[in-house]
A and B are shown apart, each in its own frame.
Chain A
């Protein structure tokens, strides 16, 4: 179906004019929430306690602690600390990592370089497989294939990922020895984290695709397509899917946001140096600047993704564009 496929994408991209305004408004709203988030995280993280106690040896003298606090500006009044932080932030300076003595933002971006491909590859696999399986199940409601897909997706959506991760390590790394247990370095290191992260979003998205496609396949325009003599595959994947995708996109965005946040548990179990693991470590170590930087970068990533989702809506449905 090259003709149909081309049409699926091309005319939409040229007609997003009505959307530009909406995206602009969205961006402004995002900036405001980012500001609120920053204030909240800054003060909340200070509530967790004094970093000096954690960083210095147990037998450190009060003098050494005081020195540490002065060095990092932790002895200043909270408001002043905040003012300094905001001023630095305006120059895109997130401060130093207490633990690693490097700019916090560098530490975070380094972790993102691992999390982002992990999230993208996982979501790519989730979306492709969920759309194909969910659509075919919907076309064949009540049939064997539909039941099979429903059962698999239900198990996937409800399986606890920490358990799956551990069982997977036991079977595939320790038992069969096919893949390494943890760490990064070779493509094989990616297999288990991706596979484990895949399961739950796949289960959820398949179910949403299936439900949405069942109702879309009952729409009158599908009857028209059948009366036109359109073949089954284009009937499902050209006529119906684009309509059925609208509710699915919201769920995909939701799941993708969870992955961008860093898959805390999975990253920890597999020793994967992503942003989820970094955030947990930094919170435990009261490395405030890294925590803040990680949260801000994650927030920006999620806002960008939300805007992409809005654009996707507009591309899929011409009625939203106007």
Chain B
């Protein structure tokens, strides 16, 4: 790389918050050349988006303060140019796309208008902008492009919305595209498509791509070089292959080791007694079939994973088993008694035995309740649990079981990190001494290193307490590490089921094969190999 297109030099940014000053990034330097793909890899809070936001002048100042540094683009320091000049560069020379395209597209304007505006905002005539927008909407593969122009963001699927964001970003053929977690909210197969699209467009236009991500798989799939960030600092940088195969910094090593999907596959204990036996569960919402004849069995101590993409019915399945939704037909025998036809009082008793852990502990834990009341609340409802005098001790015991301690009892959810909050949610479930815990994407929102810890915790509980798990997830790596049996769902139906080893090593159904192929491996060589196979096929 001779002369970099864009270079960030010694950038330090502080955030002044009510609780004091946070050094969001410290002395960060990176550069990118024409046609290159640079990944900025880091977990939440690592400051991986801060430098990109500084490049785009998107930092809110205050609370942010740029303490030092330079950002050079075409011989000028972007931190010193006028607001107006910076505005004129945004979108035209450097464009950006974001993680959540539904939130980042304006809900009250048509996508056509929003895409066209990218050009009209920079003074191009509207008819020219319209023609270019059509061209790009077709290029990114949106069906019925003419109609699509007049639709609103909520009328598209998540993958389509991200394609539209990409179309918008490319309107003025920018030199640099910054993509901030562009595929994190998408299903794996859609993620693979969007990444492939980004790569094709990059090859066509020669633009540089800065990809901000937490996902090693995405880095392996698309990037040439990677910058690894931790706590606001760059701990390592280099080519993707070098960094993956011979990481130098302990943090990088930890991150690579934590990537799921490499552990030993578990075997099912065939002798365990049957707990749950669901037969032909059906559920429709209007004309939409959320569940079609879904049957499954679950034994004591078993960890059964349900995998599938969004809309496949996996959460509906969990909610139906818990009777949070009423099934249209079918039976589900819990220790011989049918959950679906059970009366209210009997159901209350069973609900204690089946607990649930949700995806987002920030939302599933009441922010105004202390950890103690969150965990102890279930005891008031079910009336057969510890004596009031012993409750505190029991809560502490539970917290210790999930890796927290006595000092946390009186704190509130916002005082914890995401991983700690999920531990509290698990302790809350454990408080009622359940026999089955249903985890609905329970680790999806967590950073990989935290994810690995929570998985280890759940597995320990399974072994020590004999708790069974119904583990709903879209991340195949996590499923491979945790489950002994896997069910693959698509459009409300089970398309394949079997022991984990069989599903991962010899998938039968084409959909399972597709799902596995779309799942990104953190090893860049494995990804390169897969791409080679795909392009030959």
A interface with B by C-beta (< 8 Å): 3-4, 7, 11, 219-221, 223-231, 234, 239, 242-243, 316-319
Contacts and interface: CB of A to CB of B under 8 A. Distances in A.
B107 A224 contact: no
B74 to A, nearest CB: 16
Nearest to A223: B58
B121 A234 contact: yes
Chain A interface secondary structure, helix, strand, loop or mixed?
Answer: helix
B254 interface: no
Given A7-B113, A11-B110, A319-B152, A224 B104 contact: yes
Given A220-B98, A221-B107, A227 B90 contact: yes
Nearest to B152: A318
Interface in B372-388: none
A181 B106 CA distance: 50
B95 interface: yes
Given A3-B126, A318-B152, A319-B154, A228 B91 contact: yes
29 contacts: A3-B120, A4-B117, A7-B110, A7-B113, A219-B103, A220-B100, A221-B104, A223-B58, A223-B98, A224-B104, A224-B106, A224-B165, A226-B56, A226-B58, A226-B90, A227-B56, A227-B95, A227-B96, A228-B91, A228-B95, A228-B121, A228-B168, A229-B90, A230-B121, A231-B121, A242-B108, A243-B108, A316-B108, A318-B107
Contacts of B126: 3
A232 to B, nearest CB: 8
B497 to A, nearest CB: 37
Interface in B470-490: none
B107 A317 contact: yes
4 nearest A-B pairs in the assembled complex, by CB-CB distance: A229-B90, A229-B91, A220-B103, A228-B91
Interface string B100-141: 100111111110010001101110001000000000000000
Nearest to A234: B121
B120 A229 contact: no
Given A7-B113, A221-B103, A318-B108, A226 B57 contact: yes
Nearest to B118: A228
A11 B107 contact: no
Candidate in B57, B58, B113, B121 with the most chain A CB atoms within 10 angstroms? B121
B105 A319 contact: no
Contacts of B58: 223, 226-227
B352 interface: no
B107 A231 contact: no
Given A220-B100, A223-B58, A228 B106 contact: no
B68 to A, nearest CB: 23
Contacts of B117: 4, 228, 230
A249 B122 CA distance: 32
